[in-house]
Protein backbone atom coordinates (compact mmCIF):
# COMPACT_ATOMS: atom_id res chain seq x y z
CA UNK A 1 0.00 0.00 0.00
CA UNK A 2 2.72 2.47 0.96
CA UNK A 3 4.69 1.94 -2.26
CA UNK A 4 1.56 2.62 -4.32
CA UNK A 5 0.93 5.82 -2.37
CA UNK A 6 4.48 7.03 -2.89
CA UNK A 7 4.49 6.14 -6.60
CA UNK A 8 1.20 7.96 -7.18
CA UNK A 9 2.42 10.94 -5.20
CA UNK A 10 5.76 10.98 -7.05
CA UNK A 11 3.98 11.06 -10.40
CA UNK A 12 1.88 13.99 -9.26
CA UNK A 13 4.98 15.81 -8.05
CA UNK A 14 6.63 15.41 -11.45
CA UNK A 15 3.67 17.15 -13.08
CA UNK A 16 3.48 20.04 -10.64
CA UNK A 17 7.16 20.50 -9.72
CA UNK A 18 7.78 23.27 -12.25
CA UNK A 19 4.73 25.19 -11.06
CA UNK A 20 5.58 25.08 -7.37
CA UNK A 21 9.38 25.09 -7.38
CA UNK A 22 9.51 28.84 -6.85
CA UNK A 23 7.26 28.57 -3.79
CA UNK A 24 8.71 25.67 -1.81
CA UNK A 25 11.52 23.14 -1.67
CA UNK A 26 10.38 19.52 -1.88
CA UNK A 27 12.01 16.75 0.15
CA UNK A 28 14.74 15.32 -2.08
CA UNK A 29 15.73 11.69 -2.46
CA UNK A 30 19.43 12.56 -2.57
CA UNK A 31 19.58 14.80 0.50
CA UNK A 32 18.99 18.43 1.26
CA UNK A 33 19.08 21.22 -1.27
CA UNK A 34 21.62 23.04 0.89
CA UNK A 35 24.74 22.06 2.87
CA UNK A 36 23.87 20.06 5.98
CA UNK A 37 26.27 20.58 8.91
CA UNK A 38 27.73 17.44 10.48
CA UNK A 39 25.94 16.15 13.59
CA UNK A 40 27.42 17.58 16.76
CA UNK A 41 29.07 20.54 15.01
CA UNK A 42 26.31 22.86 16.25
CA UNK A 43 23.94 23.20 19.18
CA UNK A 44 20.16 23.17 19.32
CA UNK A 45 19.24 25.05 22.50
CA UNK A 46 15.83 24.32 24.03
CA UNK A 47 13.09 26.54 22.63
CA UNK A 48 10.20 25.69 24.94
CA UNK A 49 8.55 22.71 26.62
CA UNK A 50 6.53 20.48 24.34
CA UNK A 51 2.83 20.37 25.15
CA UNK A 52 0.63 17.44 26.03
CA UNK A 53 -3.08 16.96 25.54
CA UNK A 54 -5.69 14.26 25.16
CA UNK A 55 -5.19 12.31 21.92
CA UNK A 56 -6.32 8.95 20.56
CA UNK A 57 -4.17 6.48 18.68
CA UNK A 58 -5.11 4.28 15.71
CA UNK A 59 -6.40 1.56 18.02
CA UNK A 60 -8.74 3.96 19.81
CA UNK A 61 -6.62 4.18 22.96
CA UNK A 62 -6.62 7.51 24.75
CA UNK A 63 -3.16 8.91 25.44
CA UNK A 64 -1.42 12.07 26.54
CA UNK A 65 0.49 13.57 23.63
CA UNK A 66 3.55 14.47 25.70
CA UNK A 67 3.73 11.69 28.27
CA UNK A 68 2.79 8.76 26.04
CA UNK A 69 3.77 9.79 22.51
CA UNK A 70 6.70 12.20 22.71
CA UNK A 71 8.87 11.88 25.80
CA UNK A 72 11.57 9.24 26.13
CA UNK A 73 12.98 9.39 22.60
CA UNK A 74 13.91 12.08 20.11
CA UNK A 75 10.61 12.72 18.36
CA UNK A 76 9.57 14.45 15.16
CA UNK A 77 6.02 15.78 15.50
CA UNK A 78 4.18 16.85 12.33
CA UNK A 79 0.68 18.39 12.36
CA UNK A 80 -1.53 17.59 9.36
CA UNK A 81 -5.02 16.55 8.33
CA UNK A 82 -5.72 13.64 6.02
CA UNK A 83 -8.04 15.47 3.58
CA UNK A 84 -5.34 18.03 2.81
CA UNK A 85 -4.25 18.17 -0.83
CA UNK A 86 -1.67 20.97 -0.59
CA UNK A 87 1.03 21.01 2.08
CA UNK A 88 0.28 17.83 3.99
CA UNK A 89 1.11 15.32 1.22
CA UNK A 90 4.52 16.98 0.92
CA UNK A 91 5.10 16.68 4.65
CA UNK A 92 3.91 13.07 4.65
CA UNK A 93 6.39 12.26 1.87
CA UNK A 94 9.13 13.95 3.88
CA UNK A 95 8.26 11.91 6.97
CA UNK A 96 8.24 8.71 4.90
CA UNK A 97 11.65 9.54 3.45
CA UNK A 98 12.91 10.35 6.94
CA UNK A 99 11.72 6.95 8.14
CA UNK A 100 13.47 5.21 5.23
CA UNK A 101 16.77 7.01 5.84
CA UNK A 102 16.70 6.34 9.58
CA UNK A 103 16.06 2.64 8.94
CA UNK A 104 19.59 2.38 7.52
CA UNK A 105 21.01 3.03 11.02
CA UNK A 106 19.32 0.68 13.53
CA UNK A 107 21.03 2.32 16.52
CA UNK A 108 19.65 5.69 15.49
CA UNK A 109 16.27 4.24 14.57
CA UNK A 110 15.69 2.73 18.01
CA UNK A 111 16.25 6.09 19.69
CA UNK A 112 13.85 8.18 17.64
CA UNK A 113 10.20 8.16 16.63
CA UNK A 114 7.90 9.94 14.20
CA UNK A 115 4.52 11.27 15.31
CA UNK A 116 1.81 12.59 12.99
CA UNK A 117 -1.06 14.42 14.69
CA UNK A 118 -4.24 15.42 12.87
CA UNK A 119 -6.02 18.67 13.65
CA UNK A 120 -9.30 17.49 12.08
CA UNK A 121 -10.81 15.23 14.77
CA UNK A 122 -14.31 15.19 13.29
CA UNK A 123 -13.09 13.52 10.10
CA UNK A 124 -9.81 11.94 11.17
CA UNK A 125 -11.15 9.26 13.48
CA UNK A 126 -8.87 6.47 14.74
CA UNK A 127 -10.14 4.29 11.89
CA UNK A 128 -9.27 6.94 9.31
CA UNK A 129 -5.84 7.42 10.86
CA UNK A 130 -5.23 3.67 10.82
CA UNK A 131 -5.91 3.50 7.08
CA UNK A 132 -3.85 6.64 6.52
CA UNK A 133 -0.94 5.15 8.46
CA UNK A 134 -1.03 2.00 6.34
CA UNK A 135 -0.58 4.14 3.23
CA UNK A 136 2.54 5.89 4.53
CA UNK A 137 4.26 3.83 7.21
CA UNK A 138 7.22 1.64 6.26
CA UNK A 139 7.06 -2.11 6.76
CA UNK A 140 10.84 -2.23 7.21
CA UNK A 141 11.52 -3.78 10.66
CA UNK A 142 14.50 -1.49 11.25
CA UNK A 143 12.49 1.69 10.60
CA UNK A 144 11.72 3.97 13.55
CA UNK A 145 8.22 3.83 14.98
CA UNK A 146 5.71 6.17 13.33
CA UNK A 147 2.62 6.91 15.39
CA UNK A 148 -0.56 8.47 13.97
CA UNK A 149 -2.80 10.32 16.42
CA UNK A 150 -5.96 12.38 16.43
CA UNK A 151 -7.21 14.74 19.18
CA UNK A 152 -9.60 13.07 21.60
CA UNK A 153 -12.19 15.72 20.78
CA UNK A 154 -12.57 19.31 19.59
CA UNK A 155 -12.09 20.62 23.13
CA UNK A 156 -8.73 18.89 23.40
CA UNK A 157 -7.58 20.25 20.04
CA UNK A 158 -7.64 23.97 20.88
CA UNK A 159 -5.02 23.95 23.65
CA UNK A 160 -2.72 21.71 21.60
CA UNK A 161 -2.84 24.05 18.60
CA UNK A 162 -2.27 27.07 20.82
CA UNK A 163 0.70 25.48 22.56
CA UNK A 164 2.40 24.65 19.27
CA UNK A 165 1.49 27.91 17.56
CA UNK A 166 -0.43 26.09 14.82
CA UNK A 167 -3.18 28.26 13.37
CA UNK A 168 -5.94 26.52 11.46
CA UNK A 169 -8.81 28.25 9.65
CA UNK A 170 -11.84 26.57 8.10
CA UNK A 171 -12.59 27.56 4.50
CA UNK A 172 -16.14 27.77 3.09
CA UNK A 173 -15.55 24.57 1.11
CA UNK A 174 -14.64 22.65 4.26
CA UNK A 175 -10.88 22.62 3.65
CA UNK A 176 -8.56 23.81 6.41
CA UNK A 177 -6.10 26.63 5.82
CA UNK A 178 -2.81 26.23 7.67
CA UNK A 179 0.95 26.43 7.40
CA UNK A 180 3.14 23.38 7.87
CA UNK A 181 5.06 23.05 11.09
CA UNK A 182 7.06 20.13 12.43
CA UNK A 183 8.82 19.96 15.77
CA UNK A 184 12.01 18.29 16.95
CA UNK A 185 11.46 17.22 20.56
CA UNK A 186 14.16 15.77 22.81
CA UNK A 187 13.66 12.83 25.21
CA UNK A 188 13.02 15.23 28.10
CA UNK A 189 10.08 16.78 26.24
CA UNK A 190 11.71 20.03 25.12
CA UNK A 191 11.25 21.51 21.64
CA UNK A 192 14.70 21.89 20.09
CA UNK A 193 13.85 22.92 16.54
CA UNK A 194 10.82 23.98 14.50
CA UNK A 195 10.69 23.29 10.76
CA UNK A 196 8.78 25.01 8.02
CA UNK A 197 8.23 23.01 4.83
CA UNK A 198 11.18 24.78 3.18
CA UNK A 199 13.58 23.32 5.75
CA UNK A 200 11.90 19.98 6.38
CA UNK A 201 14.66 18.14 4.52
CA UNK A 202 15.14 14.57 5.79
CA UNK A 203 18.95 14.83 5.73
CA UNK A 204 18.85 17.98 7.85
CA UNK A 205 16.31 16.54 10.28
CA UNK A 206 18.40 13.40 10.76
CA UNK A 207 21.48 15.53 11.41
CA UNK A 208 19.48 17.36 14.08
CA UNK A 209 18.33 14.06 15.59
CA UNK A 210 21.90 12.80 15.76
CA UNK A 211 23.03 16.10 17.28
CA UNK A 212 20.55 15.67 20.12
CA UNK A 213 21.48 12.02 20.61
CA UNK A 214 25.15 12.96 20.85
CA UNK A 215 24.23 14.72 24.09
CA UNK A 216 23.70 11.21 25.50
CA UNK A 217 27.02 9.56 26.49
CA UNK A 218 25.85 6.06 25.51
CA UNK A 219 24.94 7.12 21.98
CA UNK A 220 28.08 9.23 21.63
CA UNK A 221 30.22 6.20 22.40
CA UNK A 222 28.24 4.06 19.98
CA UNK A 223 28.57 6.67 17.24
CA UNK A 224 32.33 6.81 17.77
CA UNK A 225 32.62 3.06 17.36
CA UNK A 226 30.63 3.18 14.11
CA UNK A 227 32.65 6.06 12.65
CA UNK A 228 35.13 5.08 9.89
Please, are residues 102 and 8 in contact by the beta-carbon 8 Å criterion? no
- 150 Cβ contact list (under 8 Å, min separation 6): 55, 56, 117, 118, 120, 121, 124, 125, 126, 128, 129
| Residue 88 marked ligand-binding | yes
Under DSSP, the state recorded for 68 is I
Measured distance CA(209)–CA(42) in Å, rounded: 12
**DSSP output for 98-165:** HHHHHTT-HHHHHTEEEEEEES-TTT--HHHHHHHHHHHS---TTSPEEEEEEESSHHHHHHHHHHHT
Measured distance CA(114)–CA(190) in Å, rounded: 15
Q: Residue 62 is inside which H or E element, if any?
A: strand 62-64
Under DSSP, the state recorded for 33 is S
| Residue 84 marked ligand-binding | yes
| Residue 16 marked ligand-binding | no
For the annotated binding site for Cu cation, the residues are 84, 88, 178
For the annotated binding site, the residues are 84, 88, 178
Amino acid sequence: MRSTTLLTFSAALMLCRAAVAHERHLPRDDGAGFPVPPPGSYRLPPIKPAAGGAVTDEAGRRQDLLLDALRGKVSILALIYTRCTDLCPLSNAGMARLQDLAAKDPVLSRRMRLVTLSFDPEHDTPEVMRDFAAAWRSAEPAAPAWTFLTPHDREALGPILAAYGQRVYAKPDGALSHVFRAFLIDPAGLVRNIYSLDFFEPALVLSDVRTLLLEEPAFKGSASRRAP
